[in-house]
Structure 1
Amino acid sequence: MWRGVEAMKALLARFARDTSGSIAIMWGLSAIVVIGMVGAAIDYSRAVNVKEVMAQELDGAVLAGARYLSSSTDTDKTKTQIVDTFSQTTAQALGETATYELTADDVSIDETAGTISVTAKGAVQTAFMKILGIDTMPIEVTSQASFSDKYLEIALVLDLTGSMDGSDGNGSTRIASLKSAATTLINTLMPDETSDRIRISIIPYSEGVSLSSSMASLVTNGYSTNCVTERTGAQQYTDASYTSEYIGNGSNLTMYYQGYQRYSKEKLAEYYSNYGKSYGSCPSSNILPLTSTKSTLLTKINNLSAKGGTAGQVGIVWGWYTLSPKWNELWPTDSEAVSYDNDKTLKYVIIMTDGEFNAIFDKTDVSRQSCSGWGWNRTCTTTTDTYWYENYNEYSTASADRAKAVCSAMKNSSANQGSGITIYSVYFNPESNATAQATMENCASSSNKFTYASSGQALSETFAKYAREIQKLYLSK
């Protein structure tokens, strides 16, 4: 191309030197102008294309930086990341078509406003305008993105019931798809191994939730050494500390089954003492309280396994407990939730189930009388013991009703500076279930925060969407 241009310039020069006729001279001068104008249009078109590519790559780099700042407070690393991302992607897109430059000094981060502003400069070498003495055309592009300056506490309430070993609609199991989807969510929210802004808890649930032996004993007043459930009474639908009202025992349960009374309440104590656990089943994975370490979260997700029935209300209320400052005395110091009125911290719960809720827990007081002696010497002593029992009923709405009550209480709590905890929910199953879907939709903070995922792919897309929404990223210019 350049040889052609040089040849054209030589030809036009000869025209200019030719004095054999005024018409030739005029044509030669006009030709220079005409060729220059046509060439300028071509060069300008090339410059516009290059500018569009640079603008697109700069937008992508700035969004990547905003995403990083939503989980970190390291502004210097963010600037470096934006520069590196822009340089790499632009080089791939343009090759040697243009020169361009972006340094950390061109990146402005306003932490108060929560914005990133970037200006990148470049130049396109001209092909035709060199005739007119113009060797390059300058290019300047700008981009601005908003990032969340908030701190996040997120509880993942995940269904680990036996049905999660069923098909996900994409040739895999639901439990495998859940692991993949949850991994995607965590990687999206936490690009680095640790996060300055985000902490996540994981609450695996089936017919109850599992805690360490010491924690389980503490919250159940010595009843349980692992499996815990819900509570009854005035604090059933609150996040009041376990010191106000203890939590139900999930270990060594006897059960009401399928809507009829397998054992009378009066016999529960006897059966409990003589035979121990009947049907109750808790997850093999303990609750993971709030943590900012990505590898800890991913290891927990990878080790999940499915078994047991579905006491969804138990998982949901324990998700609340991990976000409540009223429960801080139970958790390690690094897992303590911030106060509800902290204007820099937002609290979220993400609930996932693959079926209807079908198990609730209640307690009964059983009186026993023990006597000794005969006749006038006979003495009797009455003692009253409290026993927890499970009511498993696939045809009852009791579990769903309790779940809705817990969700309502969370949404109307004093969290998030009085606006309540924000709840996202998803019903995940290739087979539609109106009751399960209605429960999840009722729990969500709004209709657009509920999703029916009919396949494993849809679940991954849903979790990724929720992660992006929580980050609150968008291009503002």
Structure 2
Amino acid sequence: MRNYGGLVDAARCFARDRSGNFAVVFGLAASMLTLGVGFSVNISQLYNARSSLQGVVDAAVTSTARDLTTGVIKEADANKSVQAFLDANSQAGVLQANQIVMDRLIVDKTAKTVQADVHADIALYFPIFGLSDMRRVGASTTALYSDKSIEVAMMLDVTGSMAQNIRGKTNKIGDLQTAASAAVKDLLDNNIDPKNPRVRVSIIPYAEAVNTGGLAGSVFVEQKNGPDLPPPVDAPVSVAVVTPPDNCATERKDKDGYADYSSDGPSQPRLNNSGRTYLARVNRDDHMSRNCPKPALIPLTADKQKLLDTIAAFKADGVTAGGIAAQWGYYMLSPTWRSAIVDAKLGTGPANFDVKKVAKVAILMTDGQFNTAFAGGRGAPKSQNAGQMSRGNAEGICANMKRDGIEIFTIGFDLDDPSMTSTEKDQAKTVLQHCSTADTSSLKHYYEAATGPELDDAFSAIVQNIERLTVTK
């Protein structure tokens, strides 16, 4: 019998030796792992390329839309503008120079939109066997632009509480001058053609009253124990001759002595309780003191230096008649005051209300509670004090402004001042919140600022929101 022991042992050794099997399995696994890593790298590369491409085209179209809005370029220049931006930023992220190709640019003059479609061909880091080593990624974006003009009325508190305190630790009037001046510059720097300005600004400094300046002819000066209404148009000339102590005005009163919330111009004919016609001039109440703000209001203008000089002349004095401030902000944006402003040689006056052609914006700023008024609103209790009347008048006028399409931003400055009671603080905040336009997902309208830098930030944010308004409404 043959001895097969050695053969059996050799077979057993071969069976136990798995090194060859492992090499085969390892080779297959390594190949799959390499392929997986390659796919992952390529996917990451394409994702980053698409993200970079989207960022570049978004910025290019947004920049072009902004230039169309501000008048830097015309619609015919949009293609050149987008292409120049793409060329200048073609190496963003993982992109290489001259990779971005613009497929098409559409400027829709009816919808006021700019749309760009672009692509880039990307060379893959890990070409896969049997597949092209290039991949195309695309991106598209659309942005709105506008040819609206912008009119902004800034109602700014110059009352005594804004003064620099005796220890010099705070100087709120100085903070306001800094912030308001910066806002004026930012707004008017958007004007390309001085002869045809896209943006105009009005400033209404207020305290106990508003100094009407060159519009003093629109004011009816009340006399002690005299009527609250201007004389009828057919009254003797001597009846209407009154020497005003200043150019200040308070509320306009209706025929029954209530505050008039309308934006009617001063030449609007009205009927008194005797059926006689008078003109709707604005009252200077006979109870008003001599604390008339020194700087006069400035109707809408693109004269930056004139506005800045007015702000530089602010002096803090007097009490807070917020309803009167809102009233004059309304007047400076209302086309019914255009003829009075033109006749006074103070500019061309406000444009007509037309949300498609003009954005009208009011900014109401105060550092405290509205506490002064000389006429209450119709239907309000007779027992109202001056503060209640002022707040009620402000809210009534703000409601009419918003009804007419005026966007209202409000700023409460240092409203947590320890010198104010909690009730006063709440009342101050409430009236500003009620006056402001309701916030949206992208636009904030009510701001609080505790310090000068925060006040500057609030004005800056509002200026940015004003620009957004021109392309969202």
TM class, shorter-chain normalised?
0.5 to 0.7
- Out of 240, 253, 262, the position equivalent to 2:264 is 240
- Out of 379, 384, 392, the position equivalent to 1:404 is 392
Which residue number corresponds to residue 422 of structure 1? 407
Structure 1 residue 287, shift from structure 2 partner:
1.5
2:435 maps to a residue whose letter is C
**Secondary structure at 1:401's aligned position in 2?**
helix
Name the CA shift for 1:175/1:100 in 2 (closer, same or farther; >3 Å): farther
Which residue number corresponds to residue 390 of structure 1? none
Counterpart check, 1:336 vs 2:336:
no
**Secondary structure at 2:99's aligned position in 1?**
strand
Structure 1 residue 354, shift from structure 2 partner:
0.4
Structure 1 residue 320, shift from structure 2 partner:
0.9
**Secondary structure at 1:359's aligned position in 2?**
coil
* Contact 1:157–1:202 (CA under 8 A) maintained in structure 2: yes
* Contact 2:156–2:206 (CA under 8 A) maintained in structure 1: yes
- Where in structure 2 are the equivalents of 1:43-442 lying within 5 Å? 43-72=42-71, 74-76=74-76, 82-88=82-88, 91=91, 93-94=92-93, 97=96, 99-101=98-100, 106-129=104-127, 136-148=134-146, 150-166=148-164, 173-183=171-181, 185-186=183-184, 192-194=190-192, 197-212=198-213, 214-220=214-220, 223=244, 225-234=246-255, 236-243=260-267, 244-249=279-284, 280-292=290-302, 297=307, 300-301=310-311, 304-332=314-342, 334-340=347-353, 343-361=356-374, 397-412=385-400, 419-429=404-414, 431=416, 433-442=425-434
Equivalent-residue separation in structure 1 for 2:184 and 2:63 (angstroms) = 16
Q: Which has the higher strand share?
A: 1
**Secondary structure at 1:351's aligned position in 2?**
strand
TM-score in terms of structure 1 length: 0.65
2:44 maps to a residue whose letter is S
User: How many residue pairs get matched?
Assistant: 384
Equivalent-residue separation in structure 2 for 1:164 and 1:406 (angstroms) = 20
Structure 1 residue 161, shift from structure 2 partner:
1.8
Name the CA shift for 1:404/1:46 in 2 (closer, same or farther; >3 Å): same
Equivalent-residue separation in structure 1 for 2:300 and 2:462 (angstroms) = 18
Which of 112-121 and 461-470 deviates more? Answer: 461-470
Query: Per-residue CA shift, 1:201-224, capped at 9, x if unaligned?
Result: 221112222243x43245347525
Name the CA shift for 1:34/1:420 in 2 (closer, same or farther; >3 Å): closer
Structure 1 residue 431, shift from structure 2 partner:
1.4
Which residue number corresponds to residue 379 of structure 1? none
Name the CA shift for 1:452/1:33 in 2 (closer, same or farther; >3 Å): closer
Equivalent-residue separation in structure 2 for 1:288 and 1:164 (angstroms) = 21
**Secondary structure at 2:119's aligned position in 1?**
strand
Equivalent-residue separation in structure 2 for 1:119 and 1:68 (angstroms) = 19
CA-based RMSD? 4.3
Equivalent-residue separation in structure 2 for 1:316 and 1:129 (angstroms) = 68
Structure 1 residue 424, shift from structure 2 partner:
2.5
1:246 maps to a residue whose letter is R
1:245 maps to a residue whose letter is A
TM-score in terms of structure 2 length: 0.66
Which residue number corresponds to residue 18 of structure 2? none
Structure 1 residue 412, shift from structure 2 partner:
3.2
Structure 1 residue 121, shift from structure 2 partner:
3.0
**Secondary structure at 2:448's aligned position in 1?**
strand
* Contact 2:78–2:107 (CA under 8 A) maintained in structure 1: no
Equivalent-residue separation in structure 2 for 1:444 and 1:37 (angstroms) = 57
Higher-RCO chain (CA-CA 8 Å, sequence separation at least 6): 1
